[in-house]
Amino acid sequence: MPPLTLTRLRPMESRDLELVLGWRNHPEIRRYMYTQHAITLEEHSRWFERKSIDPDFHLLIFEAEGCSLGFINIHQIAAGGIADWGFYAAPDAPKGTGRRLGQAALHYAFAEAGLHKLCGQVLAFNESSVRYHLALGFTQEGILRHQHFDGQRYHDVVCFGLLASD
C-alpha cells in the first residue's frame, strides 16, 4: 500500500499557542527572524489575540498525516491581493516538510485566498530559505542592503515575489 501523503492547512487556534511558541523560540528558527529574543507565552498570546481577529492576517498550521508540522503567516499588505508571507517548519520535522508546506501555502494563497502576489523577505545569510524560495518558483526581485540590524551587525534582506500567473 502506498504511504499516506495527506497534508492540509488549518487556521491556528489558541490550543496551538504553546506548540508554535516552542518552534518560534527554537534557536534554529529564531536566528532567521527579525526579532531574535526569546518570546514569552504572554507576549505570544497577545500577538495571537491581535492577529487572529485581523482580516488581513491568515495564521495557519501545516499538517501532514494528522501531525502539526509548521506555521505559516500570510499578511495582506496592499490592495489587489498583495501579501507577505512568513513560515517555519517544526525543528524536528522530517526533511521534505518545507517543500510540502510551501506547496500547501501557495495553493492556499492563490486558489483559496485569491491573492495576486506573494512576497517573501529573507535575511541574506539564510541560504536554505533563499534556495527554498527559488525552488518554489519565486523570483528574486531585489536586495535591500543593510536593511536589518541585529544589535551587532547589518544584514542584507533578499526580496522574493511570486505572482498568481507564475
Name the site residues for ligand COA (rule: CB under 6 A). Answer: 29, 32, 87-89, 93, 95-99, 120, 122, 126-129, 131-132, 135
Closer to ligand COA by CB, 49 or 77: give it: 77
Which residue, 59 or 93, has its beta carbon nearer to ligand COA? 93
In the complex, the smallest distance separating the C-beta of residue 94 from ligand COA, rounded to whole angstroms, is 7
Q: What does the DSSP 8-state code read for residue 95? A: T
The Cα 61–Cα 82 span in angstroms is 21
Q: Nearest distance from residue 20's CB to ligand COA, in Å?
A: 12
Residue showing cell 513560515: 87
How far apart CA 136 and CA 102 sit, in angstroms, is: 7
Q: Choose among 118, 29, 108: nearest CA to 61.
A: 108
Name the DSSP letter for residue 108: I
Closest residue (Cβ) to ligand COA? 98
Least distance (Å) from ligand COA to the CB of residue 129? 4
- To the nearest whole angstrom, how small is the minimum distance from the Cβ of residue 119 to ligand COA? 11
Q: Please, what is the minimum distance in Å from the beta carbon of residue 160 to ligand COA?
A: 9
Cα–Cα distance for residue pair 77/146, rounded to 1 Å = 22
CB closer to ligand COA, 69 vs 115: 69
Three cell numbers written together for 34 = 527579525
Nearer to ligand COA, 27 or 55 (CB): 27
For residue 152, give the C-alpha cell.
Answer: 551587532
Q: What angle do CA 123, 16, 129 make, to 5 degrees?
A: 20
**Complex with ligand COA: residue 34 or 80, whichever CB lies closer:** 34
